[in-house]
Structure 1
């Protein structure tokens, strides 16, 4: 388990103090994939570097499996870091070394024999799907392949925790999904705790169990991924979710649409099994309402699907609309009125 207790990180410059992390409290359960999302400058990369003491907190405690990381001796910290591996955005590979030699590097530092290190490295080549590339150099690899080497290297010392700092942001969308699938596979096989720092809500939605949203150094929202997607409370979270769902339909857009008296333009939000139900057909048949779809999208999380539907409902009075709203609420479909005449 990872615990952050009132973590503060300040950088002192000649002119001012910069507060990068502002009194953050977090608990990350062992064996989970925990995501931290935020825009540039939110403090998320500083936060992950505090977990392995690459950055020392100005105040507060980082506790991992009962050990307070920022209070360990140098020798104790070196030993602990072998169980806290990191995957970097720009791979950080040694360009003069082959794939196998890059994976062997942390084992050499840990004092593992060359024979055992080579054997373990070749096994990890298979784990990350690079068989046949054992003796290739980084310059001969694609971005996705380089990141697979980075992941294999991070697994070399058989860590308990894998820290991923923007590990997919330098990759194209297809390669990003392949790397995310690899991380899921590794987590299942090795029961790792994975902490992912990202500015892409797609990454959070695809593989994370929990998410913390950071803004201006603070955690402004935290919870189960599905719950946060279904009910984002903070404006920054709402923006992330809307961007990921490609939900760019604003209330102002309705001004461009002419509707008649007793018409409604609404946004339906739904999740789980509701995403597979024929909602439009149901509304038409059960409530005798004409429905014109204006915009819709569905995305998938680890725990189910989420989605939205913007629709023009024609010729229904307030009582009929209230009956529809009540019926859909019982089915866990929320209704937001965007325009009504």
Structure 2
């Protein structure tokens, strides 16, 4: 239970009221803790009432935590803030959008950083396993959710993957194979792969794998790093899309052979800035002979609003026009594709998609190309 001192100021009361209004539509929020008046004035020019700002932060955090919203804290850092603002217009919107992505504080530590008193759990017992040792009953529950409720199924698979109960997933696939054959096994495996390639990992709290299949020229495979760097330079990715591609090419066949458990390990390895143990770089000569290679990356979701943004908007910040933004990104991507074809030896990037869709994307591309070589198309 959280305890915050009673603040009579109108600013605090108004902030608590706003927090209560937005809480039902909010999963997480980032609150900035200012250590001194100079830092506050630099980041929020003209504001030097440090005591009120801290009181607002405490009251808002207590209210949102009570409503089940995850409270994340960042300590204001002038050097990191200056680096963020470099190259950006000095606007209030950009100032409020600063997030120190590498040093966020979560959980009890975040609440304590704001000055809140947190009553520790007196139980102190070890967390009990979420699942029993026998995989059969869990697999049956999983299949029941698969046939009845897609959301429940996806949530259940996430829990099983987090518990590293690959035996349950394997058994569920065997069970459905007994009744529906290979086709049923493939469909269930595909549904599990879609879940496994995204999860609650990384500093933002959610990340997903992305893939860019490319039709390769037979003469010379282009540099994977140079290709992705040219894509980043277009402005295709938004600030909230923190995307990092691996430097080497991967084989579509190796990707197609991943199990859901292996796909989750790839996600975890990339989230920890490591090379994926289950998906090593492919041989470029072999990829060129087969005509396709895949670039694999990790995209972290940084769409978490800051409390400063919410307070300035008087509610949740306006969402971008999804349709207009999609059209803009498609135009940028198509322009980049043409440039990539000319500048990287005739390669043809397909689309940025989840890894589980790579095989289907390549098959569609080949079908559209007909009898012509893919690159010629």
TM range (shorter): under 0.3
| TM-score, normalisation: structure 2 | 0.22
Structure in which a larger fraction of residues adopt helix: 2
| TM-score, normalisation: structure 1 | 0.23
Structure in which a larger fraction of residues adopt strand: 1
